[in-house]
Amino acid sequence: MPTLTEKKSARPTSRAQGRPLPELIFGDLWEYDPSPETADPKLKARYELFIGGKFVPPSSGKYFDSINPANESKLAEIAWANVTDVDAAYVAAQKAYDTVWRKMPGRERAKYIYRIARLLQDRAREFAVAETLDGGKPIKESRDFDVPMAAAHFFYHAGWADKLDYVAPGRKVAPLGVVGQVIPWNFPLLMLAWKLAPALAMGNCIVIKPAETTSITALKLAEILQDAGLPAGVVNIVPGFGDTGAAVMGHATAAKVAFTGSTEVGKIIMRSLAGTDKKMTMELGGKAANIVFDDAPIDQAVEGVINGIFFNQGHVCCAGSRLLVHEPIAKTFLAKLKTRMRVLRVGDPLDKNTDIGAINSKEQLGTIERLVGVGIKEGAEMFQHPCKLPSKGYYFRPTIFSNVSMSHRIAREEIFGPVLSVITFRTVDEAIEKANNTAYGLSAGVWTDKGSRILKMSTELKAGVVWANTYNKFDPTSPFGGYKESGFGREGGRQGLLDYCKLV
186 binds ligand NAP (CB under 6 A): yes
- DSSP summary character for residue 36: B
Residue 137 in the binding site for ligand NAP (CB under 6 A): no
Answer for the pair 481, 464: CB distance below 8 angstroms, yes or no.
yes
Rounded least distance, CB 389 to Mg ion, Å: 19
Residue in 208, 237, 317, 356 binding ligand NAP, rule: CB under 6 A: 317
Distances (CA, A) of 462 to 305, 395, 407, 437: 19, 33, 19, 9
Whether 489 and 152 have beta carbons less than 8 Å apart is answered as no
Q: Which of 126, 131, 212, 283 is catalytic?
A: 283
CA distance 344 to 398: 9
Q: Which stretch binds ligand NAP (CB under 6 A): 93-101, 119-127, 217-225, 481-489?
A: 481-489
Closest distance to ligand NAP from the beta carbon of 241 (Å): 4
Q: Is 368 an interacting residue with respect to ligand NAP (CB under 6 A)?
A: no
Three-state secondary structure along 401-429?
EECCCCCCHHHHCCCCCCEEEEEEECCHH
Task: Please name which of 486, 136, 464, 446 lies closest in space to residue 308, comparing C-alpha atoms.
Answer: 446
Residue 414 near ligand NAP by CB under 6 A: yes
Contact region for ligand NAP (CB under 6 A) — 47-55, 107-115, 206-214, 455-463?
Answer: 206-214
Give the 3-state secondary structure percentages of the chain, helix then strand then coil, rounded to 5. Answer: 40, 20, 40
Among 115, 140, 209, 490, binds ligand NAP (CB under 6 A): 209
CA 38 to chain centre: 24
**Position among 175, 286, 417, 492 found at the interface with ligand NAP (CB under 6 A):** 286
The side-by-side arrangement of strands in the sheet containing 46-47 is 46-47, 73-79, 63-68
Residues near Mg ion, by CB under 5 A: 66, 134, 213
Q: What is the largest CA-CA distance in the chain?
A: 74
Query: Closest distance between Mg ion and the C-beta of residue 72, in Å?
Result: 10
Task: State which amino acid sits at residue 194.
Answer: W
Beta carbons of 154 and 208 less than 8 angstroms apart: no
Binder among 50, 416, 447, 471 for ligand NAP (CB under 6 A): 416
If one asks whether residue 158 binds ligand NAP (CB under 6 A), the answer comes out as no
DSSP three-state, residue 17: coil
- 86 CB-near residues (< 8 Å, 6+ apart): 207, 238, 244, 247, 248, 251
265 contact choice in ligand NAP, Mg ion, none (CB below 5 to 8 Å, kind-dependent): ligand NAP
Identify which of residues 301 and 368 has a Cβ nearer to ligand NAP in the complex: 368
Residue 480: DSSP 8-state: B
Closer CB to Mg ion, 238 or 457, in the complex: 238
* Residue 189 makes contact with ligand NAP by CB under 6 A: no
Tell me how far apart the alpha carbons of residues 322 and 350 are, in angstroms, rounded to a whole number: 29
- By the rule CB under 6 A, 359 interacts with ligand NAP: no
Which residue, 158 or 265, has its beta carbon nearer to ligand NAP?
A: 265
Strands of 443-447's sheet, edge to edge?
381-384, 399-402, 419-425, 322-326, 289-292, 443-447, 465-468
Phi, psi for residue 410 in degrees, rounded to 5:
-70, -15
Q: Is 317 marked active-site?
A: yes
Q: Which stretch binds ligand NAP (CB under 6 A): 218-226, 245-253, 401-409, 447-455?
A: 245-253
Nearest distance from residue 342's CB to ligand NAP, in Å? 27
Name the catalytic one among 317, 414, 485, 501: 317
Q: How many residues sit in the footprint of ligand NAP (CB under 6 A)?
A: 30
Q: Is 283 a catalytic residue?
A: yes
- Residue 269 binds ligand NAP, judged by CB under 6 A: yes
Q: Of these partners, ligand NAP, Mg ion, none, which one is at the site of residue 414 (CB under 5 to 8 Å by kind)?
A: ligand NAP
Paired residues of 259 in beta bridges: 182, 282
Q: Which does 181 bind (CB under 5 to 8 A by kind): ligand NAP, Mg ion, none?
A: none
Give me the least distance between CB of 392 and Mg ion, in Å please: 14
211 binds ligand NAP, rule: CB under 6 A: yes
Q: Which does 241 bind (CB under 5 to 8 A by kind): ligand NAP, Mg ion, none?
A: ligand NAP
Which residues bind to ligand NAP, rule: CB under 6 A? 182-186, 209, 211-212, 241-242, 245-246, 249, 260-262, 265, 268-269, 283-286, 317, 414, 416, 442, 482, 486-487
Give the active site residues.
283, 317
